[in-house]
Structure 1
Amino acid sequence: MKRFGILAAAAIAASAIYVAAPNSPAHALEKPVNAPAPKRIAREGAGLKTAIFAGGCFWGVEGVFSHVKGVKSAVAGYHGGSAATAKYNRITAGGTAHAEAVKITYDPYVVRYDELLRIFFSVVADPTLKNRQGPDVGAHYRSALVPTNSEQRAVAEAYLAQMEASNVWSRPIVTKIESQRTFYRAETYHQDFMAKNPGHGYIVRWDKPKVDALKVMFPRDFKASFLRDN
């Protein structure tokens, strides 16, 4: 499913809010979850680090991380496929191996990788959904963690195992760890989409609630200002 088409449809959709039926799976699953505090603490050392997260529509993933203290950059893009197919229209048609993803740069002395994982699974992505998130269906909307160093991989593996054993989720955890490949920056109109289009129907229905949940559940990590990509 495409998110209201691309920019040509954005103006039309801005005044209409996508609302799932009260008893639909999407409605029931799009709720924040109190993910467990990580037992394996990330020790990445000094200096800025990067990490890649795939969790459905990249507008919301980018939007949430843009409000997290310690995050210095959040870029929407595509991960897992080739350069030839790293284009929005091609990816949303399916079959490219790409996932919509967000590459973030962060200061681990302000927010650690394990803390980013907890935020991600609490307010961004449902780890029990395979090849979908919210109203969006397809392998390009899969949830995946893409570590960029050995410490991140060890922390991610430990946390997924901890999540599975926690019984916080009633269904099996299906989020995978994917090996890092080339990250392709998405088209300019996708960058800072939430900040640029706060009244867009998709943003209002699906993504703003995630930022609201971040503010309530992680007040020490939340910053009111939106980190814009420069």
Structure 2
Amino acid sequence: MVRCWKHSETRLEEAQCTDEGSAASSQSHFPHKAFWVSLSASLLLVIIGLGLTGHLGLSQPHSESLQIVRITVPDQTGVLINQSAVVDQQNDLVTFSIASPANQTSTVLFDVKRVRPGDMHQIGLICYKPVDQDSCYLRKMEKTDYDNVQSLLHESTHKSQFQLSGNETRRQTEYLGVLAASQVDVATLDEPLQALCQDSSIHWTRRVEGPGKQRLVYFCIDICFPSNICVSVCFYYLPE
């Protein structure tokens, strides 16, 4: 309560008045302030929510497109061989992890994202990263490679594990000659190949009939596909 004065016709009279007017004025301003504070908080929450939704919307489709496929097939002696492949349907990438008897893993990456309908000359690249070697080996895909990978890209949408029968599986051997003099700059490759071959020497290879008796096969990698095809890819260095 505050003391105030009022004027009468004969004298000034002292009267008591309260601060109700100022209180009413403060109360009239308070709802406006609360409204703007709540509105700002709501807008902030909406912005954060949209940001999280956008981030999840961008990252989730890629993670959902990755699928691990396991392939089991008996070798020519009857011993089961287990292989796994990461299938990235969004980017048309298939990455094989092939374990050796010593539990060491080689990697084979099929990059088919450059496929153009009706063009089988520049289908894509295959990159071989053998175990215990600081080297990568590249070759251009051919139509048979494309067909084999497409069987995996297609079948992986239906199931993630394949048990191949030894009697029904077709086996073939391919020889690749390593062009040792033609090293590749890793910076010229696409990101998946760069990640696989970082800090490694990279060489082009080409398909050849066979190494001949005077040439030594350095290593072989067996790759099996759901289409009951197993390919043994063997490498050796071509003469300079």
TM-score, normalised to structure 2, is: 0.25
TM-score, normalised to structure 1, is: 0.25
Which structure dedicates a bigger proportion of its chain to helix?
A: 1
Larger RCO (alpha carbons 8 Å, 6+ apart): 1
Which structure dedicates a bigger proportion of its chain to strand?
A: 2
Which structure has the larger Rg over C-alpha atoms?
2
